[in-house]
């Protein structure tokens, strides 16, 4: 689906992020230049503290860069205000976290509806949950679902608004391998069917084989960007 000459979803230049100042300053990003085409599935690899989460947070509009340029579909987001960032997240971005972050007081269907109610052209909650294989668990509360099921509800919630971008921070970090594979399959289905640019942070280098593109981080910089000629289906990944 994705091709190298597709329009750019994200473009960053000399992107830096420094937490704190003076002697205690932590350089989380030290000048990141990255071009990510629309519709690709990209896996970000790297040890803890290498800057991948920081980048994801900036790309997702959760945080501001200290300096540098960040464009979303050609639009400069570097100086966007809080309200603009909220709008950006609301319209264009879907998030999936390691710990699901579902609303415990809402059922699977209602957790998805939470987002579809404020989106412009959403799918129905039932469609979104079917996409991740949870059509049978619509009216279950998070407490009644397994970890993998909860994560798939989180994916359904993230994709129900048909986002241009899907950002996943360690989506399988809290799951066993069999469950993890089901979650990755769900992510791949979404990427294939909705053409959402999908960024996945993981510690598990095996996951990289399912991506179009793999970006490796170390010490706040990009070490390597490689494209997979062949993508491995999640079921066949080395876990």
Binding site for another protein (CB under 8 A): 53, 57, 60, 62-63, 83, 86-91, 93, 95, 97, 99, 101-107, 110-111, 113-115, 117-118, 140-144, 157
Q: Which of 115, 11, 17 is nearest to 70 (CA)?
A: 11
Least CB distance to another protein at residue 237 (A): 26
Nearer CB in complex with another protein: 162/212: 162
Q: Give CA–CA dist 237/239, Å, rounded.
A: 6
> Shortest approach of another protein to residue 70 CB, angstroms?
16
- Which residue lies nearer to another protein by CB, 111 or 204? 111
Q: How far is the CB of 210 from another protein (least distance, A)?
A: 25
Cβ-based nearer residue to another protein, 115 or 175: 115
Least distance (Å) between residue 83 CB and another protein: 7
If 0-12 CB within 10 Å is exposed, 13-18 middle and 19+ buried, where does residue 32 land?
buried
CB of 227 to another protein, least distance (A): 29
Residue 164 CA to residue 88 CA, distance in Å, equals 11
DSSP-derived secondary structure letter, 141: -
The least CB distance from residue 99 to another protein, in Å, is: 6
Minimum gap (Å) between residue 162 Cβ and another protein? 14
| Closest to another protein by CB, 75 or 83 | 83
Between CA 167 and CA 175, with CA 171 as vertex, the angle to 5 degrees is 175
CA-nearest of 16, 50, 90, 39 to 201 is 50
Q: Which is nearer to another protein, 73 or 90 (CB)?
A: 90
Q: Please, which residues have CB within 8 angstroms of residue 113's CB and are 6 or more apart in sequence?
A: 106, 125
d(CA 67, CA 15): 6
Cβ closer to another protein: 176 or 192? 176
DSSP-based three-state secondary structure for 189: helix
What are the φ/ψ torsions at residue 208 (nearest 5 degrees)?
Answer: -55, -30
Give the tokens for residue 119.
């989106």
Q: Return the number of the residue (67 or 101) whose C-beta is nearest another protein.
A: 101
> Percent helix, strand and coil across the chain, each rounded to 5?
35, 25, 40
* Token pair of 68 as six digits: 């540098």
């Amino acid at each position: 689906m994705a091709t190298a000459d597709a329009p750019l979803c994200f473009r960053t230049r000399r992107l830096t992020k420094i937490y704190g100042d003076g002697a205690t300053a932590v350089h989380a990003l030290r000048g990141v230049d990255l071009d990510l085409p629309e519709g690709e599935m990209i896996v970000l690899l790297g040890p803890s503290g290498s800057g991948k989460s920081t980048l994801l947070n900036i790309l997702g509009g959760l945080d501001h860069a200290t300096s540098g340029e960040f464009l979303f579909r050609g639009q400069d987001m570097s100086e966007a205000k809080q309200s603009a960032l909220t709008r950006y997240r609301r319209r264009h971005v879907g998030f999936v976290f390691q710990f699901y972050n579902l609303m415990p007081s809402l059922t699977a269907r209602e957790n998805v509806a939470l987002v579809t109610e404020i989106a412009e052209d959403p799918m129905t909650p039932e469609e979104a949950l079917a996409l991740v294989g949870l059509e049978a668990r619509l009216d279950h509360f998070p407490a009644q679902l397994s970890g993998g099921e909860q994560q798939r509800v989180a994916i359904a919630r993230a994709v129900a608004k048909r986002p241009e971008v899907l950002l996943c921070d360690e989506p399988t970090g809290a799951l066993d391998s069999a469950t993890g594979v089901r979650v990755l399959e769900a992510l791949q289905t979404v990427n294939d069917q909705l053409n959402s640019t999908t960024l996945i942070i993981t510690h598990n280098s095996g996951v990289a084989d399912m991506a179009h593109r793999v970006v490796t981080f170390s010490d706040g910089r990009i070490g390597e960007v490689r494209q997979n000629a062949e993508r491995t289906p999640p079921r066949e990944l080395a876990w």
